[in-house]
Amino acid sequence: MLLVYSDENAWTESEQNQCYTDSLELTRQLEANGQYLGAAPLQPISSATSVRVRQGKQLVTDGPFAETREQLGGYFLIDARDLNEAINIAGRIPAAHKGTIEIRPVVELPGLTNDVHKNTTQVSI
């Protein structure tokens, strides 16, 4: 999983639109290489809702869990042979120029009914 973090206020509308266009091109390239499993940008953090359960009680709050300089803005789910290949792909994500791409392996749980986990090894960025 390639997690895309950036300061959502650091982008002009024009830059954000170009980032989406460039990201779509990257997904087409990854799909052509058989590496694309999924991707999506997220709505702004102002639309977030956080849910926690503490001492058996559900707590629901507006907004993200933590105040940070960079926010989770989207993801790419890819099929990469190893960390080096995932790093190479992460460097091609347009948002890496203004933000951070975090690479995280996906935990494969036996019995999880998700086609993405069948016969693939995923590495998150």
Angle at 40 between CA 38 and CA 46, to 5 degrees: 150
Higher per-residue confidence, 125 vs 108? 108
pLDDT tens, residue by residue, 66-96? 667 788 899 999 999 999 999 999 999 999 9
Higher per-residue confidence, 57 vs 111? 57
Question: What is the b/e burial string over 79-90, where b = at least 16 CB atoms within 10 angstroms of the residue's CB?
Answer: bbeeeeebeebb
DSSP string, 37-84: EEEEE---GGG-EEEEEETTEEEEEES-SS--SSEEEEEEEEB-SSHH
